[in-house]
Copies of this chain bind each other. A is one copy, B any other.
Amino acid sequence: MMFSKSLEYALRAVIYLCNESSEHAKLNINQISTAIDSPEPFTAKILQTLVRRNIIASTKGPGGGFFIDSKAKPIPVIDIVDATDGRSAFERCGLGLKECSESRPCPIHNEFKSYSYKLQNLLTKKTVQDLARGVSEGKSFVTNF
């Protein structure tokens, strides 16, 4: 927190794909960006990087599109973070000091480290499939009205 736009769209798209796509029911970029209400070409770029990282799959040509195979391994949310924003927000000093460590901490070092650690831990344990389950059960949403 907070998440970049790229990460927001990536997460919404991946959760959506998790529930709505499969090897035999691919979704094209228009269908995805319409569903999750995100800018189409920008979302395309983001999905391309997820494909490159083997987080999602895609095929070209008629009937092609993006999909997540239902028998794919669970995807930790942190994988999406790594693909879009990276870890720098978690790793750099909260006050922007060049050197900030146990031996020479900034005044918020410990608090920051604790939050950062807990959050990374949470993002590592939570999977996209966990989040998708809530959506498929109607308990949560990735679409605007």
Contact = CB atoms under 8 A, between A and B. Distances in A.
Given A115-B115, A119-B115, A107 B94 contact: no
Interface string A104-145: 111111011001100100100010000110110001111111
Nearest to A12: B95
B115 A1 contact: yes
Contacts of A126: 111
Interface residues on A, range: 35 or more
A143 B131 CA distance: 42
Contacts of A25: none
A108 to B, nearest CB: 7
A19 B142 CA distance: 48
A9 interface: yes
A96 interface: yes
A72 interface: no
Nearest to A116: B1
Given A8-B95, A111-B126, 7 more contacts: A2-B89, A97-B141, A97-B142, A98-B145, A106-B140, A107-B132, A108-B131
